[in-house]
């Protein structure tokens, strides 16, 4: 008995009904990480006389995982001790978790600060990069910047779109560039490509790029032309297939653009794919109609020169039409002027009109009305150089025409000023030596210089001379071969058969296409565009 109670602490004793006994509360060991504590767990009846004779105290030892824990501590009541254990457990958890998270956050801030310091050191402004996932080391960021430099992008380019620094070289940039290269996009154009649309480096080849390329091919754009389309308009890679692209194509087909011509139209001017029908294309078509150009004729113009849809309607087209009226182009002639030379509504027209009118006045002494007629009959005259005008006028002077006659010829048929001088000389020599006609015949029909000598002028003249018919140059030349053959069956010339000098015919623009099954890409590069 004495062995069992040895070294136990007796917390207290309580008298009970039976004399000579007491209740003793013993401290038994309980374990906690790092140390051993005592909690009251047992109450034993003991004789009262042992209270005075024996001081009980419990000392326990226990070994856990080769560590020795010991306790010799005065016991306390159970409830306060349990609270103390809970507080210490919370304290241990706090010491284990919170410092680690704080350290990680602090480290991340320090890493970003070093990356920002590097970027500022090379001239990049990182203000827009907050919140963007960036490399944690300067070395990785330096690798990205160096790779962008190899692609031809400058610090200025990066500052224009700093989010490109969030693209991984291996995961983003290289797969996209490899795909573009396989399509046929030229390395020489890749720098300009990325300057115009750097967002492509964020794209997924499978999810974003391949569907757009497949759509373009579905629009009858030849596979060989896809790289050209992408180089000219890389922004197309960011469009949604069911959005602007499909509606713009559908509208063009609806107004009369041939379905089999769409591939050629989009290859020449892929920017159409990004145009909104309601804001851009439809108002443009309706304005052309208001000038007197039928919708089908507008469709044909778009097929041949789709870039006209890129002319700003309010800022450029409408003001240019107003300038034409200011320079004595009659309102009834506006449709013919625009249909013949649609580029005239997209250039810096006002200054050109002033310059060209001054040139014609200095060379031919033309009045304002004469200049307006020249523009009506050949709107391309707006782009003729003064040197070309002088050369043609000098040639006509050498042929024996007076300045007044030249003036009449130029106003009546300004196409003379754009003719090849060698061809004009051959035609004039034949006219003078073989046809033996007066110069006034050429004044009345200056278009003579535009006909082929061997194909038209010689054979027709010979037939008329053989029949000894007297006719004007217009009756001789201004008709089709079939009609000329019918005329040769006449015994005399009917004056009603005389046709006016050829002018622009809007119906010719709406005629059937020569070949709708294919298209050719014109590498036009108008300096006035």
pLDDT of 356 higher than 50: yes
Give Cα 525 to chain centroid, integer Å.
20
- Check residue 501 and give its pLDDT: 52
- Check residue 492 and give its pLDDT: 59
Determine the length of the chain: 529
Partners of 67 in beta bridges: 64
Determine the 3-state secondary structure of 77 from DSSP.
Answer: coil
The CA-based angle 8-13-18, given to 5 degrees, is 125
The CA-based angle 80-86-90, given to 5 degrees, is 145
Residues 162-167: what's their mean pLDDT? 92
Classify residue 364 as exposed, middle or buried by CB count within 10 Å of its CB (0-12, 13-18, 19+).
buried
Residue of higher predicted confidence among 245 and 374: 374
- Check residue 162 and give its pLDDT: 93
CB atoms near residue 45 (< 10 Å): 13
> Closest Cα partner for 447 from 470, 425, 477?
477
- Check residue 512 and give its pLDDT: 58
pLDDT band at 128 (very low <50, low <70, confident <90, very high): confident
The CA-based angle 155-157-160, given to 5 degrees, is 110
Determine the 3-state secondary structure of 31 from DSSP.
Answer: strand
Residues 323-327: what's their mean pLDDT? 97
- Check residue 47 and give its pLDDT: 47
Partners of 46 in beta bridges: 22
pLDDT of 17 higher than 50: no
Residue of higher predicted confidence among 396 and 502: 396
* Per-range mean pLDDT, top range of 19-33, 181-195, 508-522: 181-195
Residues 6+ apart with CB under 8 A from 35: 69, 71
Q: What is the pLDDT of residues 52-92, one digit of tens each?
A: 444 444 444 444 444 444 444 444 444 444 555 444 445 44
Tokens 């390395």 — which residue? 187
pLDDT of 315 higher than 70: yes
Calculate the alpha carbon distances from 465 to 450, 458, 479 in Å.
21, 10, 18
Give Cα 408 to chain centroid, integer Å.
49
pLDDT of 317 higher than 90: yes
pLDDT band at 267 (very low <50, low <70, confident <90, very high): very high
pLDDT of 300 higher than 80: yes
Q: What is the pLDDT of residues 198-235, one digit of tens each?
A: 999 999 999 999 999 999 999 999 999 999 999 999 99
Looking from the CA of 184 toward its CB, the CA atoms found within 13 Å total 10
pLDDT band at 34 (very low <50, low <70, confident <90, very high): very low
Q: What is the mean pLDDT of the chain?
A: 81
pLDDT of 275 higher than 70: yes
């Amino acid at each position: 008995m004495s062995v069992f109670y040895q070294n136990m602490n007796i917390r207290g004793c309580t008298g009970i009904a039976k004399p000579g006994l007491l209740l003793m509360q013993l401290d038994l060991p309980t374990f906690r990480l790092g140390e051993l504590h005592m909690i009251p767990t047992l109450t034993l009846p003991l004789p009262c006389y042992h209270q005075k004779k024996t001081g009980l105290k419990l000392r326990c030892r226990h070994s856990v995982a080769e560590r020795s824990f010991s306790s010799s501590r005065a016991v306390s009541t159970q409830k306060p001790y349990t609270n103390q254990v809970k507080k210490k457990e919370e304290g241990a958890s706090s010491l284990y978790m919170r410092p680690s998270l704080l350290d990680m956050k602090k480290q991340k801030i320090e890493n970003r600060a070093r990356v920002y310091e590097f970027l500022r050191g090379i001239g990049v402004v990182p203000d827009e990069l907050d919140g963007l996932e960036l490399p944690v080391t300067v070395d990785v960021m330096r690798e990205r910047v160096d790779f962008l430099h190899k692609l031809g992008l400058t610090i200025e380019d990066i500052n224009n779109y700093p989010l490109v620094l969030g693209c991984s070289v291996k995961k983003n940039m290289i797969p996209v560039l490899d795909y573009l290269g396989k399509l046929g996009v030229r390395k020489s154009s890749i720098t300009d490509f990325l300057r115009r649309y750097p967002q492509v480096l964020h794209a997924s080849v499978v999810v974003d790029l391949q569907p757009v390329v497949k759509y373009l091919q579905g629009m009858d754009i030849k596979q060989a032309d896809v790289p050209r389309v992408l180089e000219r308009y890389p922004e197309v890679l960011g469009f949604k297939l069911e959005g602007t692209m499909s509606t713009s194509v559908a509208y063009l087909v609806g107004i009369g653009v041939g379905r089999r011509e769409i591939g050629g139209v989009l290859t020449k001017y892929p920017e159409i794919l990004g145009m909104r029908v309601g804001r851009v294309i439809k108002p443009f078509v309706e304005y052309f109609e208001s000038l007197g150009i039928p919708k089908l004729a507008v469709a044909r113009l778009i097929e041949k020169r789709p870039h006209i849809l890129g002319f700003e309607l309010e800022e450029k087209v409408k003001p240019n039409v107003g300038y034409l009226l200011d320079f004595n182009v009659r309102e009834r002639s506006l449709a013919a002027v625009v249909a013949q030379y649609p580029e005239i509504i997209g250039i810096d027209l006002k200054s050109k009109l002033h310059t060209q009118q001054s040139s014609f006045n200095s060379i031919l002494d033309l009045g304002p009305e004469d200049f307006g007629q020249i523009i009506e009959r050949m709107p391309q005259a707006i782009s003729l150089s003064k040197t070309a005008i002088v050369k043609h006028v000098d040639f006509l002077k050498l042929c024996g025409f007076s300045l007044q006659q030249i003036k009449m010829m130029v106003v009546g048929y300004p196409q003379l000023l754009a003719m090849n001088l060698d061809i004009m000389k051959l035609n004039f020599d034949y006219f003078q030596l073989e046809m033996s006609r007066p110069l006034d015949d050429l004044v009345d029909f200056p278009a003579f210089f535009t006909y082929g000598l061997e194909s038209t002028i010689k054979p027709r003249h010979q037939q008329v001379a053989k029949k000894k018919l007297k006719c004007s140059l217009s009756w001789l030349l201004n008709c089709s071969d079939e009609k000329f053959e019918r005329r040769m069956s006449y015994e005399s010339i009917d004056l009603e058969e005389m046709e006016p000098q050829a002018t622009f015919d809007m119906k010719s623009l709406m005629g059937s296409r020569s070949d709708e099954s294919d298209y050719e890409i014109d590498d036009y590069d108008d300096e006035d565009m």
